């Protein structure tokens, strides 16, 4: 029986790898075509001058992957090439540009005679994000299978991840793909009780994006949950309630929790300290004249010992990231609640709706369990599988916190990629709704007979059947006319955002 289960899991893994690889290749091809066909919009975005004269292959790389370098991707590429020269560059965390620079200096070094550093960095974006995305899909399947305890639900959830509405940000020069891979890997390690490894991986995630700090909540919650479980077990063994068991577990939780949270937060703290040293205690660093001219024209701040000390340096806790979000991006509580931002709220509405539906359905299915914050005795709930099982609770809380913070305290249009790269709940609820409301998925015999028919009509492992074997999402797309309205809405949302993101973002048009 175990061998049969492993066979199915291995088949699912190959399905995930095939589909994730296909969607990455298709994304790269589509963005190149759309970038060539649609004229770039003239946007007031960060656009630094190139530092080197283009070499032989630079025009080719620009034509193929130039759409991946727009909007915030310019910041990451600039940091990878030049370092942190401007104050607002510190809004972008260092792990992703560091990896790009490392790839350009090692794997892509043989191309240095044909590509400038910028060209190699752009190529590193296309290759690196594609590879990391496939890895993130594999890790997400492992995590989903472990948490949901439902192989079919886990598979469909990951296939939906391959069609993520935040697709363009997962292929362009953004840190979302790296962050998603590290977050999913850290949570998978945590679920397997490899806590120290989870801390280290989640710490790297914080080095990629600031919201990695929130992942410390998983470590604290699961540590508290395990501690309470040990205390209850000791009390049952002792034959009665003994408070000292709970006191000891509380002390243990405080000490270990502080250690775990510190490991996750260290990259953030070190980066803020680096920013503090750069701008509050500047040295005589040499900034190229062309970049100084750009700073004067655009009002960018550079570290200068002759200039007055920035006011944020006088704060009791001088956090440069908070200052940049406040001054440069006008991020703050309810600041985005203006009539002119209604279109951006509409763009974020599908992701927000799925997030609220996930929370509502879970609470309605587990009202008492949620009332006790999932810290009650879970023995009677262990047989529950799927989206509503007890292990999902902490992920629902995490997703809800991100959702509310994104709506009330951020530029709401980034909510889609914010949730899509930070939490698996968006994909879990989508898969859950598909299984609940789609008759084609409920009729497993129909799906199996369709697979057998395709295998008879085609050679195994080649062509269409070799690529789409065991892929229920593609099966639904092939039977679009007979799908339920719920399926059409969910898949329509994912695919339309998947494609529109490539068309708009890659041509400097506003998107989520």
Taking only Cα atoms into account, the Rg of the chain, rounded to an integer number of angstroms, comes to: 24
Rounded to 5°, the CA angle 207-212-386 comes to 135
Cβ-Cβ contacts under 8 Å for 308 (sequence gap 6 or more): none
Give the CA distances from residue 197 to residues 129, 146, 191, 404, in Å, rounded to whole numbers and listed in that order.
23, 17, 11, 29
Q: Which two tokens stand for residue 475?
A: 């099966």
341 class by beta-carbon count within 10 Å (0-12 exposed, 13-18 middle, 19+ buried): middle
- Please report the pLDDT score of residue 390 as a whole number: 92
C-alpha span between 496 and 505 (Å, rounded): 13
Question: In this structure, are residues 12 and 479 in contact, taking their beta carbons and an 8 Å threshold?
Answer: no
- Please report the pLDDT score of residue 434 as a whole number: 96
- Please report the pLDDT score of residue 222 as a whole number: 87
C-alpha span between 235 and 286 (Å, rounded): 66
pLDDT tens digits, 415-446: 999 999 999 999 999 999 999 999 988 776 65
pTM to 2 decimal places: 0.93
Question: Which of 177, 173, 175 lies closest to 123 in space, CA to CA?
Answer: 173
C-alpha span between 37 and 32 (Å, rounded): 9
Give the CA distances from residue 339 to residues 345, 371, 407, 474, in Å, rounded to whole numbers and listed in that order.
10, 37, 15, 39
C-alpha span between 495 and 160 (Å, rounded): 10
- Please report the pLDDT score of residue 52 as a whole number: 85
- Please report the pLDDT score of residue 231 as a whole number: 75
Q: Which two tokens stand for residue 186?
A: 């850290």
Question: Which of 465, 509, 506, 499 lies closest to 174 in space, CA to CA?
Answer: 506
Chain centre to alpha carbon of residue 258:
25
- Please report the pLDDT score of residue 10 as a whole number: 82
C-alpha span between 344 and 153 (Å, rounded): 31
Question: In this structure, are residues 68 and 125 in contact, taking their beta carbons and an 8 Å threshold?
Answer: yes
> Phi and psi of 498, rounded to 5°?
-60, -45
Instruction: Detail the DSSP E strand segments found in 293-343.
Output: none
- Please report the pLDDT score of residue 151 as a whole number: 92
Q: Which two tokens stand for residue 274?
A: 């680096």
Question: Which of 52, 35, 172 lies closest to 100 in space, CA to CA?
Answer: 172
Q: Flag residues of the chain having pLDDT under 70.
A: 1-5, 236-242, 244-245, 377-383, 444-468
- Please report the pLDDT score of residue 464 as a whole number: 44
Cβ-Cβ contacts under 8 Å for 379 (sequence gap 6 or more): none
Helix (H) and strand (E) counts for the chain?
23, 0
C-alpha span between 162 and 267 (Å, rounded): 29
Q: Which two tokens stand for residue 288?
A: 């190229």
- Please report the pLDDT score of residue 460 as a whole number: 45
Question: In this structure, are residues 502 and 30 in contact, taking their beta carbons and an 8 Å threshold?
Answer: yes
């Amino acid at each position: 029986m175990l061998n049969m289960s492993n066979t199915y899991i291995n088949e699912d893994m190959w399905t995930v790898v095939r589909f994730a690889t296909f969607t990455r290749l298709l994304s790269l091809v589509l963005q190149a075509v759309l970038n060539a066909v649609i004229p770039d919009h003239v946007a007031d975005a960060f656009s630094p001058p190139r530092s080197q004269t283009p070499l032989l292959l630079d025009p080719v790389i620009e034509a193929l992957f130039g759409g991946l370098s727009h909007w915030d991707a310019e910041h990451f590429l600039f940091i990878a090439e030049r370092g942190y020269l401007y104050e607002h560059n510190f809004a972008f965390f260092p792990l992703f540009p560091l990896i790009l620079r490392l790839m350009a200096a090692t794997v892509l070094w043989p191309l240095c005679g044909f590509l400038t550093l910028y060209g190699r960095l752009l190529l590193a974006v296309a290759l690196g994000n594609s590879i990391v995305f496939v890895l993130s899909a594999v890790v997400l399947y492992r995590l989903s299978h472990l948490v949901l305890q439902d192989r079919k639900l886990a598979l469909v959830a990951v296939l939906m991840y391959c069609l993520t509405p935040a697709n363009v940000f997962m292929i362009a020069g953004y840190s979302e793909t790296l962050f998603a891979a590290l977050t999913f890997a850290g949570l998978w390690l945590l679920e397997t009780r490899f806590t120290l490894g989870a801390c280290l991986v989640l710490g790297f995630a914080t080095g990629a994006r600031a919201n990695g700090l929130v992942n410390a909540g998983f470590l604290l919650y699961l540590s508290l949950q395990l501690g309470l479980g040990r205390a209850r077990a000791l009390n049952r063994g002792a034959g009665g309630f003994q408070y000292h068991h709970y006191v000891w577990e509380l002390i243990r939780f405080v000490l270990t929790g502080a250690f775990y949270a510190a490991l996750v937060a260290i990259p953030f703290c070190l980066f803020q300290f680096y920013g503090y040293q750069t701008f509050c205690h500047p040295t005589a660093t040499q900034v190229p004249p062309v970049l100084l001219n750009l700073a004067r024209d655009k009002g960018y701040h550079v570290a200068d010992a002759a200039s007055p000390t920035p006011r944020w340096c006088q704060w009791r806790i001088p956090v440069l990231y908070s200052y940049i979000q406040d001054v440069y991006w006008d991020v703050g509580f309810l600041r985005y609640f203006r009539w002119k931002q209604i279109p951006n709220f509409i763009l974020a509405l599908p992701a927000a709706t799925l997030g609220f539906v996930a929370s509502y359905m879970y609470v309605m299915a587990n009202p008492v369990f949620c009332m006790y914050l999932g810290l009650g005795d879970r023995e009677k709930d262990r047989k529950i599988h799927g989206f509503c099982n007890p292990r999902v609770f902490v992920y629902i809380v995490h997703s809800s916190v991100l959702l509310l913070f994104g709506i009330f305290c951020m530029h709401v249009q980034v909510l889609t990629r914010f949730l899509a790269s930070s939490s698996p709940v968006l994909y879990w609820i989508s898969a859950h709704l598909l299984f609940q409301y789609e008759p084609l998925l409920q009729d497993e015999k129909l799906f199996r007979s369709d697979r057998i028919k395709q295998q008879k009509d085609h050679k195994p492992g080649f062509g269409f059947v070799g690529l789409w074997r065991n892929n229920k999402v593609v099966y639904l797309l092939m039977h679009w006319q007979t799908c339920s309205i719920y399926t059409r809405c969910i898949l329509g949302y994912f695919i339309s955002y998947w494609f529109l993101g490539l068309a708009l973002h890659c041509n400097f048009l506003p998107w989520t």
